[in-house]
Amino acid sequence: MFRPPSPRPIVLAAAILLAVTTRAHAQRGAAADTSYAREHYTKSEYMVPMRDGVKLYTIVYAPKDTTAVVPIMLLRTPYGIGPYPLDEFRRVLGPSPEFDQDGYIFVYQDARGKFRSEGTFRVMNPYKPVKHGPQDVDESSDNYDTIDWLLKNIPRNNGRVGQWGISYPGWQTVMGMIAAHPALKASSPQSSPSDMFVGDDFHHNGAFRFMYAFNWLVGNARPRATQTTDRPVPFDYGTLDAYHFFLDLATVKRVNDVYFHGAVPTWDDFLKHPNYDTYWQEQNVLKDLKQIKHPILNVTGWFDQEDFYGPMSIYYTIEKENPNNQSTLVVGPWNHGGWGAGGGDSLGPVKFGSATGEYFRKNVQLPFFQHYLKDAPAKLAEAVVFESGTNVWKTYDHWPPREAVKRSLYMRAGGKLSFAAPTETTDAYDSYLDDPAHPVPFTQEKRPTQGFLWMVEDQWFASTRPDVLTYQTEPLTENVTIAGPVLAKMRLSTSGTDADFIVKLIDVYPDYGPAGFNANVNARERAALARDENDRRMRGYQMLVGAEVFRAKYRKSYSRPEPMVPNQVTPLEWDLRDKNHTFQKGHRIMVQVQSTWFPLIDRNPHQFMDIYSANESDFRKATQRVYRSAAQPSRLEILVLPQEP
């Protein structure tokens, strides 16, 4: 176990992030027991051979009813498929209890090199389109070989296979879609990453997700000596204060010296590849999404803290490369994997008004697999999305909705945000001093690991800092509903030769307290809104709707970074990712701009260099400017739906 060099009492970290996928599966239905599974299913285990001779440990739950011929539901994971003893059962065998009652053969498999499976685990092992022999294996070939073996060796299957998984198992589901076995008839990748440098777990637009990468790799990427069913021991941070833990660590470079000592090879790989080179490009699954012939149910949450870029980019790529594919996009008001269990009726203090997770599991996920694996009738929309703000489910025949219209929100003088373009003819700008020694925290939560509530957290704490610029509209006179990509089209400068810029889109709730009385809203509307908000904490709440970082040296190419020219106005444009949210009448739309988001993102030294090699002495203050003139406007480009009468 790695331990920090601190005399403070040790506090165990929260469960390893991303492992929520399979662990939630095993723990789901805490109020229930395993009696239904025991009564209706038998459990068996197998070592399934792959083409290179490696055997993967596999558990099969088969219905006791021997008169029925049923489909196979497959989940492959690096997080463990316990309980391992044959006399112990999972509480829920399928994606939800409804599947257990509907009758399937449920198959769980430890990924290559994990737990009881043989072989060597490689993080995000890339697809090999050309295989020169049986030793050329990847997750796609392991998936194919597993399905082939199951069809031939597990009796009373109907020759059809469905696959699902959340997060890393979602990525393994995507890999199974590539060069798929003909019997794979329906796949549901859920919260799958697609590109670990551009937008998923380990980087966003080239900026390193320091806190998350540290925690995930120390728990999941250490080589093992033998096959085992033991889970990794959570890292001991020695504190609940992640902000100062990582600030005291100072640099990415020091992680090996202080904690890892070369025992986490994937961390070393990351540091050897600071730019978007072949190492990262090979892992990009989007380039391989061709000839996807079977139906896909692609699932994610608007507030997914790990992998939102992945599902959306996978959906868009399948639509482009496989236009005849029966592909459905589902996006709900969830954090990473939040639809897998529980009601899904809230996220922190933000209420969604209904059991959104239950709705998805019963009305979308189950009918999808029933239709394609059992020929049950179903009417599946192209896009099933939850519109936060109004808290309603919507269906569309195209995503983004065809009726959405492009509009721009401009940053204006005096901290104003407006749909009207600026008129200043001079070099108008706002500025702030960014000091890496005092970075802007990404959350007020006191915890050692990242968590997920920061995705909807009140951003008031950031708006009060001098190194955060805040722009907001007047109270809205009508609802504004956005649906589709949100693009930051900024004109910026830095006094250094590199910088990070973070843009946040925020829904500001009305403050109807005595000091914040809004004369434009009548008493009846105030009372209704107060009931809807249901909590005094929502008065003046600055709800984070979306945010994204961009590392300026990658503005032209992720592979060939270029320095910024000090104090020169530079266009930087990046995607804050898709949203479907209504800013209600009486609310305000806010945009915040900052240059640190710590320790979610590592600090930028404001020098053009390999940041992974930076020493503490390399970090310098920098003056950042956001331009807002007619000639150099900074704005958000959004897609706005017409308001329903």
Q: Between residues 225 and 509, which one has the greater pLDDT?
A: 509
Residue 282: pLDDT band (50, 70, 90) is very high
pLDDT band (50, 70, 90) for residue 150: very high
Q: What is the amino acid identity at position 559?
A: S
- 524 pLDDT band, cuts 50/70/90, is low
Please state, in angstroms and rounded to a whole number, the distance separating the CA atoms of residues 4 and 237: 6
Domain with CATH 2.60.120.260 in the chain: 405-641
| Length of the chain (residues) | 645
- Summarize the confidence of residues 176-198 as an average pLDDT: 98
Predicted confidence (pLDDT) at residue 120 exceeds the cutoff of 50 = yes
Whole-number Å distance between alpha carbons of 204 and 312: 14
Indicate whether 31 pLDDT > 50.
no
Name the most confidently modeled range: 24-28, 30-34, 542-546: 542-546
Decide if pLDDT at 353 tops 80. Answer: yes
pLDDT given for residue 24 in this prediction: 44
Average pLDDT, the chain: 92
Every domain of the chain with CATH number 3.40.50.1820 lies at 33-195+283-396
Over 90: is that where the pLDDT of 575 sits?
A: yes
- pLDDT at res. 613: 97
Mean pLDDT of 497-501: 98
Class of the CATH domain delimited by 33-195+283-396: alpha beta
* Structure letter (DSSP) for residue 234: P
Q: Could you say which of 1.10.10.10, 3.20.20.70, 1.20.140.10, 2.60.120.260 is the CATH number of the domain covering 405-641?
A: 2.60.120.260
pLDDT, tens only, 299-340? 999 999 999 999 999 999 999 999 999 999 999 999 999 999
pLDDT (mean) for 166-181:
98
As a three-state string, the secondary structure of 282-340 is HHCHHHHCCCCCCCEEEEEECCCCCCCHHHHHHHHHHHHHCCCCCEEEEEECCCCCCCC
Return phi, psi of residue 508, to 5°: -95, 115
Give pLDDT, residue 200.
95
493 pLDDT exceeds 90? Answer: yes
Instruction: Dump pLDDT digits (tens) for 231-252.
Output: 778 899 999 999 999 999 999 9
Distance from the Cα of residue 447 to its chain's centroid: 19
Q: At residue 534, does pLDDT exceed 80?
A: no
Q: How far apart are CA 594 and CA 471, in angstroms?
A: 12
Question: What was the pLDDT predicted at 16?
Answer: 34
Q: How confident is the model at residue 110 (pLDDT cuts 50, 70, 90)?
A: very high
pTM: 0.92
Q: Which residues pair with 485 in a beta bridge?
A: 578
Q: What would the mean pLDDT of 588-597 be, rounded to a whole number?
A: 98
Q: What is the pLDDT of residue 229?
A: 79
Nearest C-alpha neighbor of 39 from the set 85, 95, 106, 101: 101
